[in-house]
Amino acid sequence: MTGTQAIDRAAELVALVVRSDGACSFTDLVGRTGLPKSTGSRLLHALERHQLLERHDDGFRPGALFAVYAARHEPVAELERLAGPVLHRIGELTGETVNLAVPRGQSVVQIAQVDSRFMLGATNWVGVEVPAHCTALGKVFYAFGRIPLPATPLERRTARSPANPAELDRQLSTVRQQGYAVARGELEPGLDAVAAPIRGAGGEVVAALSVSGHDVRLADQLEDIGHLLVTETAILSGLLGHQSGTEGAA
């Protein structure tokens, strides 16, 4: 097989998988292309190496490169898929609940979660509405201008909730300086959280990752977790096309 033929056959394999409604088995792919099994296997391995295809239990599916491309043009549409491995890695490192959230209008919408391995603090936050100013995720979106600052008096969920807009503004200034937000018992007594922004290609904040758990476990780890999140969100931001130094204005 010549180089051009190999490219044509590889492109045919990719096209079959991308156009399929589900996964394509190895047998189906070599059968539809007429490739010898040995040739089909070599081409599929090459396509896997270059992230054009992924091998799953039920067959081959489009690879991560397609998700990266889609995420750069429609960030939220593919963000959950791209962020999945990062959420699980942070969950394994911390043992705590990890959430992915996006800004919608005046609200914070949590779209994915990895559960804590601890019974105390294992709450499912996906789809739960809470006052943004009492959460680390909300503070990230306030700090970088992705949701409008509250125009009404701040609801105090606990004695530690921000008491007024001036106090919240001071906290947001700190978020911008250190690159992550912290909430210490501001939504519920004993619940601490840290969050960091994920940026798109133009530097705008498109989402945020958070770690939350009981303050007995997190109180002395908030700074370390904040630095961990900054590192991990930089990886995700890079996948979305962000280059350091192109941050959008707050």
| 96 and 161 share one domain | yes
* Residue 19 confidence (pLDDT): 85
**88 and 131, same domain (yes or no):** yes
Instruction: Give one DSSP letter per residue of 70-97, joined into a string.
Output: HHHHSHHHHHHHHHHHHHHHHHHHH-SE
Position 127 confidence tier, pLDDT thresholds 50, 70, 90 = low
Q: Are residues 165 and 90 in the same domain?
A: yes
User: What integer pLDDT is reported at residue 250 of this predicted model?
Assistant: 46
Q: Are residues 95 and 16 in the same domain?
A: no
- Over residues 159-215, the pLDDT tens digits come to 999 988 989 999 999 999 999 999 999 999 999 999 999 998 889 999 999 999 999
**Residue 117: what pLDDT?**
84
Instruction: Dump pLDDT digits (tens) for 42-96.
Output: 999 999 998 889 898 889 988 877 766 655 555 566 788 888 899 999 999 999 9
Residues 129, 152 contacting (CB under 8 angstroms)? no
Q: Say how many residues make up the chain.
A: 250
- CATH code of the domain containing 158: 3.30.450.40
Domain final residue pick, 62, 85, 100: 62
- Assess whether 115 and 165 both reside in one domain: yes
Give CA 154 to chain center in angstroms.
28
* 91 & 12 share domain: no
Burial class of residue 166 in the structure, from the number of CB atoms within 10 Å of its CB (0-12 exposed, 13-18 middle, 19+ buried): exposed
Residue 250 is assigned to a structural domain of this protein: no
Spatial contact of 190 and 214, defined as CB atoms under 8 Å apart: yes
The answer to whether the CB of 158 falls within 8 A of the CB of 186 is yes
User: Are 20 and 127 in a shared domain?
Assistant: no
- Angle formed at CA 228 by CA 226 and CA 234, multiple of 5 degrees: 100
Please indicate, yes or no, whether residues 102 and 167 belong to a single structural domain of this protein. Answer: yes
Inside any domain, residue 247? no
pTM over 0.95: no
pLDDT, tens digit (0-9, with 9 covering 90-100), for 1-20: 666 888 889 999 999 998 88
Which pLDDT value is given to residue 34? 92
Average pLDDT over residues 206-230: 94
pLDDT at 133: 92
Q: Does residue 107 form part of some domain?
A: yes
> Does residue 23 sit in the same domain as residue 45?
yes
Count: domains in the chain: 2
Q: Do both 42 and 152 map to the same domain?
A: no
Enclosing domain of residue 170: 68-239
Q: For position 77, what pLDDT does the model report?
A: 60
CATH number for the domain harbouring residue 56 = 1.10.10.10
> Within a domain: residue 245?
no
210-225 burial, b for 16+ CB within 10 Å, e for fewer?
Answer: bbbbbbebbeebbeeb
Strand order in the sheet with 181-184: 107-114, 97-104, 205-214, 191-199, 181-184
Report the pLDDT averaged over residues 137-148: 94
Candidate from 184-188, 220-224, 241-245 with smallest mean pLDDT = 241-245
Looking at the structure, do residues 175 and 118 belong to the same domain, yes or no?
A: yes
Which pLDDT score, from 0 to 100, does residue 249 have?
46
Between the alpha carbon of residue 1 and those of residues 4, 92, 107, 191, 224, the distances in Å are 8, 46, 56, 62, 54
Under a CB-based contact definition with an 8 Å cutoff, are residues 43 and 53 in contact? no
CA angle 142, 147, 151 (to 5 degrees): 85
Same domain, 170 and 232: yes
Please report whether residue 153 resides in a domain.
Answer: yes
pLDDT confidence bin for 37, thresholds 50/70/90: very high
Tell me how far apart the alpha carbons of residues 102 and 109 are, in angstroms, rounded to a whole number. 5
Residue 68: its pLDDT value, please?
Answer: 63
Mean pLDDT, rounded, for 99-108: 86
In a domain, 127, yes or no: yes
| Three-class secondary structure of residue 176 per DSSP | helix
